[in-house]
Structure 1
Amino acid sequence: MTHQPHHLLSGVEPDPARDAGHDDPPPRVGFFTDTSVCIGCKACEVACKEWNALPEDGLSLTGMSYDNTQGLGASTWRHVAFIEQQAPPRPAPDGAPGPEGRTELPLVADAPDDRGRQAAGGGELRWLMSSDVCKHCTHAACLDVCPTGSLFRTEFGTVVVQEDICNGCGYCVPACPYGVIEQRPSDGRAFKCTLCYDRLGAGQEPACAKACPTESIQFGPLDELRERAARRVERLHETGVTEARLYGHDPADGVGGDGAFFLLLDEPEVYGLPPDPVVTTRDLPAMWKHAATAALALAGGFALSFTVPALLGRGGSGAAGGRR
């Protein structure tokens, strides 16, 4: 029996691949990125570029951090953010100071010699590092607005751009609530992470997850990753890292949950992520309904503008004839 797609634009969507028309799809897969163990090595960036044959996109530093790629784009499908900030002093979980020289999450040293990094008011400098990627949203606005079918939902629940079908219209760029997808200046076509769709079809994990030395990037069935992430947050909270939180994991959020979600050590805005993303096509049905109502009202008014004078003209002619 062929499954009939629902084409939902918002809300909880338990099986996006099946509702996209795939019969008997495999379990939905995705990424869980644990930023608490990211060391900023950029192995994921290199592996992504090598496997997908992505062009070089600039190696100049911004002057604001050690980040040379600055953000996701048409030629950067993985981006490691380097965020330097002042952190409050953190006692050990039992209330005692940590051992000399020991590194504790989130990378704040407890040694008394802070080598001049101690700022007025307490707290040392720490690095927050995070490997960002396309979120492969449950409700993907980029896919919804694509007029050529270049963007499609795979049997794994991921969202892929077919570069040979893209006509460069650019509708997908402003539709993405995360600012992930971008057009290449050379030909105007849009590009983004495919979650290594070619590797998935061969039973392999994506290149970035394969290359990550600390398992900060974890790949697998999305339901299993969500359970693993929840346990990880609980462990961090038990060890005193109370600011640890998940981002993009909730199927009831504004995009129906992300296929690539994160464990963060600060507010999403610190990492350049929107605090409450919403699929930009969510209100399309209501907008079309209002537009149709307005069009009908306009058409009715237009018709009346001709009908009423005609009726009045006929009534006036009859009265004039009677007086004669």
Structure 2
Amino acid sequence: MLEQRGRESVSSIAQGVKQLPQLLTLLHKETPPPEEPALGFFTDTSLCIGCKACEIACKQWNQLPAATPDWSGTSYDNTQHLGATTWRHVQFIEQIERRIPAGTGQSAQQTSSTLPKLSLFQPMDSAEAIPATPPGTALPFFNSDRWLMHSDVCKHCANAPCQEACPTGAIIHTEYDTVYVQQDICNGCGYCVVACPFGVIARDTGGDGQAHKCTLCYDRLKDGMKPACAKACPTESIQFGEVQELKKNAQERLGLLQEHGVSEASLYGADDKILEGGLHSFFLLLDEPEVYNLPANPARPSNHVLPTSLGTIITALLMGLMSIFFFSNKE
């Protein structure tokens, strides 16, 4: 009996010795990939035609399930928002009787009343001259109504609030300085969801329960390919490349539009002011950011940790002093 137990212990020790190299490999750290230039998107909303080719290309490449079109009754936009299975979303922003940009001194109703009258349904006299299009109007109806198209996506923040809030380290910055969620580490806690000021990241409640968002086609980047959405865009509204180069292109495009009278055009996220580092996916907008459901000054939750902690400590000290004073008077 003793000999048998001795043989079993010797064999178990031998098996442990054989497995030791495999256990040690778990402690081995892989050499990180070399740093690459920061990559991102520049989305020019003035070129977007709302075709949703980017949405479909994103779903096809990433094998995301199709969503049933849901008509809200307030817009022709049947996607409505980004989600765990919708990483690109083309917004349709219908502006009926929109406000006239400041400085014109006219309301939308006043402008409509002074617009040129065209015989749209009657033959025109050949001698009748077609008036020039007044500034701020849109063909063919010469009114103030318009649709704004905006292909929304993860902003890939330089200082990402979702990464700061993640307790497991599942959210990282890749070698391309893009924000990526490691699905094998994510535990589905949802802290990143509430931390994101743009409403980008979401948990797949009907699937694995984990957080999902745009990866900027990280697998395609590794092979030197464009992200699927940028490749599919027919108007080049979505531009992909090095962030610094894209910022130069954005400034040139902004200057061109303003030179042609589009004074309301502006860049969103192209500087370092937003989230104390800027966005690697930024936009050219034709109205205020809030119109596109973008916060003008998004907050980083980590900035509130110190004030809240100090407030909690001070409150605890005051409560302690009051308790001491109360019990001392009671005696």
Same fold (TM over 0.5): yes
Is 1:108 the counterpart of 2:138 in the alignment? yes
What CA distance in whole angstroms lies between the structure 2 residues aligned with 1:30 and 1:165? 24
Identify the residue that residue 67 of structure 1 maps to in structure 2: 77
Is 1:244 the counterpart of 2:254 in the alignment? no
Identify the residue that residue 79 of structure 1 maps to in structure 2: 89
Deviation at 1:284, TM superposition (A): 2.3
Report Cα offsets for 1:201-254 as digits up to 9, x if no partner: 111111100110100000111111111101100000000111110011111233
Equivalent residues of 1:35, 1:262 under 8 A apart = yes
Identity %: 54
- Residue type matched to 1:142 in 2? C
What CA distance in whole angstroms lies between the structure 2 residues aligned with 1:101 and 1:44? 38
The one of 219, 222, 244 equivalent to 2:243 is 222
The one of 19, 42, 45 equivalent to 1:35 is 45
Equivalent residues of 2:137, 2:144 under 8 A apart = no
Identify the residue that residue 213 of structure 1 maps to in structure 2: 234
The one of 121, 140, 160 equivalent to 2:180 is 160
What CA distance in whole angstroms lies between the structure 1 residues aligned with 2:215 and 2:135? 32
Task: Kindly indicate which of the two structures has a greater share of residues assigned to helix.
Answer: 2
- Residue type matched to 2:53 in 1? A
Deviation at 1:292, TM superposition (A): 5.4
CA RMSD of aligned residues (A): 3.3
Equivalent residues of 1:105, 1:241 under 8 A apart = no
Equivalent residues of 2:77, 2:92 under 8 A apart = yes
Report Cα offsets for 1:55-92 as digits up to 9, x if no partner: 122213222222111010111100000111135599xx
Identify the residue that residue 8 of structure 1 maps to in structure 2: none
What CA distance in whole angstroms lies between the structure 2 residues aligned with 1:201 and 1:27? 13
Is 1:44 the counterpart of 2:54 in the alignment? yes
TM-score (norm 2): 0.73
Q: Which has the larger radius of gyration?
A: 2
Deviation at 1:294, TM superposition (A): 5.9
What CA distance in whole angstroms lies between the structure 2 residues aligned with 1:134 and 1:265? 20
Deviation at 1:188, TM superposition (A): 2.2
Structure 1 unaligned blocks of 5 or more: 1-20, 91-96, 314-324
Q: What secondary structure sits across from 2:257 in the alignment? A: helix
Equivalent residues of 1:175, 1:281 under 8 A apart = no
Is 1:188 the counterpart of 2:209 in the alignment? yes
* Structure 2 CA distance for partners of 1:24 and 1:246, relative to 1, 3 Å: same
* Structure 2 CA distance for partners of 1:216 and 1:47, relative to 1, 3 Å: same
Equivalent residues of 2:44, 2:283 under 8 A apart = yes
Q: What secondary structure sits across from 1:281 in the alignment? A: helix
Equivalent residues of 1:107, 1:126 under 8 A apart = no
Identify the residue that residue 147 of structure 1 maps to in structure 2: 167
What CA distance in whole angstroms lies between the structure 1 residues aligned with 2:253 and 2:215? 27
Identify the residue that residue 125 of structure 1 maps to in structure 2: 145
What CA distance in whole angstroms lies between the structure 1 residues aligned with 2:167 and 2:314? 25
What CA distance in whole angstroms lies between the structure 1 residues aligned with 2:321 and 2:216? 52
What CA distance in whole angstroms lies between the structure 1 residues aligned with 2:58 and 2:67? 13
State which drifts further: 181-190 or 282-291: 282-291
What CA distance in whole angstroms lies between the structure 2 residues aligned with 1:190 and 1:101? 55
Report Cα offsets for 1:96-122 as digits up to 9, x if no partner: x9x97999999921x5xx2xxx6xxxx
Is 1:172 the counterpart of 2:182 in the alignment? no
Equivalent residues of 2:250, 2:267 under 8 A apart = yes
